[in-house]
Amino acid sequence: MRDPESAVPVPPEGRRSLDLRADCASCFGLCCVALPFRASADFPVDKDAGQPCTNLQADYSCGIHARLREDGYSGCTVYDCFGAGQQVSQHTFGGQDWRRSPKTARQMFDVFPVMRQLHELLRYVTEALELPDARPVHRGLRRALDDTHRLTLGTAESLAELDMAAHRQGVNALLLRASELVRAAAVPGRRKNHRGADLMGARLGGADLRGASLRGAYLIAADLSGADLRTADLIGADLRDARLHGADLTGCLFLTQPQLTAARGSDTTRIPQGLTRPAHW
């Protein structure tokens, strides 16, 4: 395992190639074991952290992957580890299988959520570095990217001891500034601020939300049909069952595939480049 202190910064040409897409074939089913879930609209049964899902196969594949929604596991369809699973499996633990090396199991399951948060930050910072209007904070973002990437190369022990809240706070300050710069350039003047707002079930059909801050907003089952969300900041927004039919999401900030997949939309929904229209729309 590589010493994180000796890691070199991520070269500019390599920033786009950071391994931030889940590769389940290179993972030991960590999201299916390490994470808990409770019987709800997203899952049909309870499962404790560290307990393998009953659908996890011997080869770490999912036995019901093709019918997750039909069998009540819609929560699985909107989860993304951003590549943390294979990083923990193949790098942090050097390919050790928790089933064949049970002594590593608890530590591996504890490290996985930490790595997932680091990879999520890498995904956001990478996006921010591609925004020309955020150039005033690109230097700080590059430093944050290098620091975060360096942490992902650490030992299991260093990851377990990481003050994730403090690290996230520092990176988030840069992401917030990048968001403000981009939104101000796109929509000068006063912009709507719904940061952290409870908008569950809100009727926002056709709303002009260009450049709005919807960071961490609860938009569960909200009607956003036909809404203009261009350059809106959607980092951490809960879009479960939100109606996006005919909405314009092009150019919105920090929207992830899991958020999009959790929502409801149609072929008239305009989505950002790099994201895929969910199959169930």
Q: What is the DSSP string of 49-91?
A: TTSPPTTB-TTS-BTTGGGTTTTT-HHHHT---TTHHHIIIII
Q: Does domain 189-281 have CATH number 2.60.120.260?
A: no
Domain(s) of CATH 2.160.20.80: residues in the chain: 189-281
Q: What does the pLDDT read at residue 7?
A: 38
pLDDT higher than 90, residue 168: yes
CB 27, CB 85: distance < 8 Å: yes
Higher model confidence: residue 2 or residue 131? 131
CA angle centred on 80, ends 17 and 74, rounded to 5°: 150
Give the tens place of pLDDT for each residue, 241-260: 999 999 999 999 999 999 99
**Predicted confidence band of residue 104 (pLDDT cuts 50, 70, 90):** very high
Give yes or no for a contact between 192 and 215, defined as CB atoms under 8 angstroms apart: no
Task: Quote the pTM value.
Answer: 0.90
What does the chain come to in residues?
Answer: 281
Read off the pLDDT band of 231 (50, 70, 90): very high
Higher per-residue pLDDT: 42 or 4: 42
